[in-house]
Amino acid sequence: MARRVRAISHEDQLSLVEHLDELRSRIVLCAVVFGVALALCFWQNNLLLEIAGGPLPGDHKKLITFGVTEPFTTTITVAAYGAVILAMPVLLYQLYAYVLPAFSDSERKTVLPILLLFPVLFLAGIAFSYFVVMPAAVNFLLNFNDAQFNIQVRAKDYYSFFAMTMLAGGLVFQMPLAILAVTTLGIVKVEQITKNRRYAYLALAVLAAALPGVDPISMLIELVPLLVLFELSILLAKVFDRKRATGGVAEPST
């Protein structure tokens, strides 16, 4: 496997079988890395569960389970979520290494810095969700009309909500790269995005409402970074568009 998973240059001529063989080798390597990360996370499952339960208030730290198998299956699920995050840098590197040979040297200088922002923005989204969104959402939901309910938090439901919130935060923070990609490829002009900014704000509000967290507090908290990221995306797209106009950025090849 070490011989097959190697860096491929833009000048290398590979057959379809060789491309598929390289893809298979990288998928196997990713599966091995994920398996190792899963074993590590399961070994440290107490630490993971403690971190995931951090946003909960003190009187709800002890989560409840139903059935004989639920503690085990819930622990495995949390370990799998942790393994995905832990293995993400390696998984993204394998994706980059497989795709980058399709670009010329000049295109690679443009694309590589953008691709390297994927894990950075993903981790930034997770951090924002963990330290900002989750505490506010949990505090609001657990205290809403609490005098009328005997509120008990089920482990399976909470960890699912926690994982979806973390994943959604990591994905929505990719918006600058998505906008930069469609403008760089010429699918949408920067002027079109700027001109229709008010419709974009409406779409972002709908997106914030669709994200995990049904309360208005978490929706507003999630909407603020979306608006900031959108404006940052426009700024980055204008910079790249200006560099392309002056010849500093290569036009994408067919």
> Which pLDDT does position 37 carry in this prediction?
92
Residue-wise pLDDT for 164-206, tens only, equals 888 788 878 877 777 777 776 667 777 777 877 788 888 888 7
Structure tokens at 116: 């390297």
**Does a structural domain hold residue 251?**
no
> Which pLDDT does position 6 carry in this prediction?
55
Residues 6+ apart with CB under 8 A from 21: 4
| Residue 234: count of CB within 10 angstroms of its CB | 19
**Does a structural domain hold residue 62?**
yes
Per-position b or e across 80-100, b if 16+ CB within 10 A of its CB: ebbbbbbbbebbbbbeeebeb
**Does a structural domain hold residue 4?**
no
If you ran DSSP here, which 8-state letter would residue 17 be given?
H
**Does a structural domain hold residue 38?**
yes
Residue-wise pLDDT for 21-62, tens only, equals 777 888 888 899 999 999 999 998 889 888 888 888 877 778
The number of domains in the chain is 1
pLDDT surpasses 70 at 79 = yes
**Does a structural domain hold residue 7?**
no
Helices (H), 2-100: 16-43, 45-52, 70-99
The pair phi, psi for residue 64, each rounded to 5°, is -105, 155
**Does a structural domain hold residue 9?**
no
**Does a structural domain hold residue 11?**
no
Per-position b or e across 140-169, b if 16+ CB within 10 A of its CB: bbeeeeeeeeeeebebbebbbbbbebbbbb
Share of the chain above pLDDT 70, in %: 75
Structure tokens at 201: 């704000």
- Position with higher pLDDT, 104 vs 200: 200
**Of residues 157, 98, 92, 170, the one with CA closest to residue 130:** 170
Q: State which residues form the domain around 83.
A: 16-245
**Does a structural domain hold residue 75?**
yes
